[in-house]
Each structure stands twice: as C-alpha cells, then as structure tokens.
Chain A
C-alpha cells in the first residue's frame, strides 16, 4: 500500500539557518511526489513537485527537493530560512490521481 512518512513532527531552526525536512514514501511504481505548505488558517499551497527527469527540483520561495529512489526519499531543503517560512509542511505521493499525505512537519523559526 502507498504511504508517506514524515519522521519529524516538529522542527525548530534559527532564522538564516539551513533547513531539511524529511519524507519517505512507499509506492510500487515511479512516484509522483509533492511538497505542500500550510500557513495557519490557510489552505495548502504547492511548493514543488517531481514527476520525472532531474531528481533535484526547484520550487517556489527558494525551496528545493531531491528525489532519491534508492532511499525512497524526497527531502525538502532551503539554504536560509526566513521567519515567514514558519508553517506546516506536507509531503505527498500521487497515486492514480489521488494524493496520499504524510502527517506533516511543523516548522518553527527562532529569531
């Protein structure tokens, strides 16, 4: 069965520090992978997606993610975090048009 695991429920980083959010998936075929961000009281916004090709994908707001098939991972990174990045981040795998979401990682940013 398809599944997504985000091992970190909550992460705190200092403003200006680098960030990596982990995501592991389980899917039989070549996955479609997504990262979404949800600010408090808002809907989910698509940050980036991977379908095929280059395994390093660039997204909005300076985020990038790397697909590693051997590790079944799709980790999200940002070289320098801004206070406005504080939000909840969801990794998802696409399966026949549906999305299966991880439980989310809440990011707090220290001044």
Chain B
C-alpha cells in the first residue's frame, strides 16, 4: 500500500500565481480531506469529500480556494490567485468507513507552499 500521495512536496510561487496541489488517496477509501497547517492556526480542515462529492467546505478560507475530486483516485486543491498568507503546509488525508461505523484517517506527507 503506497499510502496517500501528494504532489508536489514543495512549491514556491509568487503572489498572484495559480497554485494546484494534488492528492491520490489510498485505494478503496471513499472519504478525502484537505487540511492546512500553520503555526498560528494549527491544523484546519478546509474541505472533505465522500464518494467524490464535497460534503463540507465551510473551512475553505475564501473564493480563491477551490477543490475538486473528479474520480475516486484523484483530488486537487487550487488557489487562484495565491497570496503570501496562503503559505502553509497542506495535507491530504483519506479514510473509509468500517463495518462498525469506525474509521481512521491516513495522512499524506503534505505540500509545503511558500508564496512570496
């Protein structure tokens, strides 16, 4: 099992540019989550999908952020235009619901985004 795969691992871009972060969840997992981690705000849930459908995007900071999940094995988080305050580590996680209603999330290694 390859685990959750994220790309790129590091991204440096200039303010105003479009940034696209990518995530491949664990095969068989039907839920996918995007988080942002900063020193000031800790870990924040941005959006999550069940069966490729966005369920809760209340954590998306503003309209500059958008996320898609076109199929069960791929998701993107896009920032357009990017701003320096978007600099953070972005994590993707996936999970599946087990028979007893239990679940656990597995995290990817993260994408460190720096916007200059």
Residues of A within 8 A of B55 (CB): 97
Contact status A45-B107, CB under 8 Å: yes
Q: With A43-B107, A43-B108 in contact, is A99–B45 under 8 Å at CB? A: yes
Residues of B within 8 A of A43 (CB): 4, 91, 107-110
* Bound CA span A32–B45, Å: 17
The reply to whether the CB of A42 lies closer than 8 angstroms to some CB of chain B is yes
Residues of B within 8 A of A104 (CB): 42-43
Residues of B within 8 A of A46 (CB): 104-106
B residues 63-109 with Cβ under 8 Å of A?
91, 93, 95, 97, 100, 102-109
Contact status A98-B42, CB under 8 Å: no
| Contact residues of A: prevailing secondary structure | strand
Q: With A43-B110, A46-B104 in contact, is A103–B50 under 8 Å at CB? A: no
Question: Interface residues of B, CB < 8 Å — how many?
Answer: 24
Contact status B102-A51, CB under 8 Å: yes
Residues of B within 8 A of A103 (CB): 42
Nearest CB of chain A from residue B7's CB, rounded to whole Å: 13
Interface residue tally on A, bucketed by range: 10 to 19
| Contact residues of B: prevailing secondary structure | strand
Nearest CB of chain B from residue A100's CB, rounded to whole Å: 8
Residues of B within 8 A of A74 (CB): none
Contact status B102-A101, CB under 8 Å: no
- Provide the A58-80 mask, 1 if CB < 8 A to any CB of B, else 0: 00000000000000000000000
- Provide the A14-57 mask, 1 if CB < 8 A to any CB of B, else 0: 00000000000000000010101000001111100101000000
B residues 30-62 with Cβ under 8 Å of A?
31, 33, 42-43, 45, 48, 50, 55-56
Can you report 27 residue pairs joining A to B where beta carbons are below 8 Å apart?
A32-B102, A36-B107, A42-B109, A42-B110, A43-B4, A43-B91, A43-B109, A44-B91, A44-B107, A45-B107, A46-B104, A46-B106, A49-B104, A51-B100, A90-B43, A97-B31, A97-B48, A97-B50, A97-B55, A97-B103, A98-B45, A98-B48, A98-B56, A99-B33, A101-B42, A101-B43, A103-B42
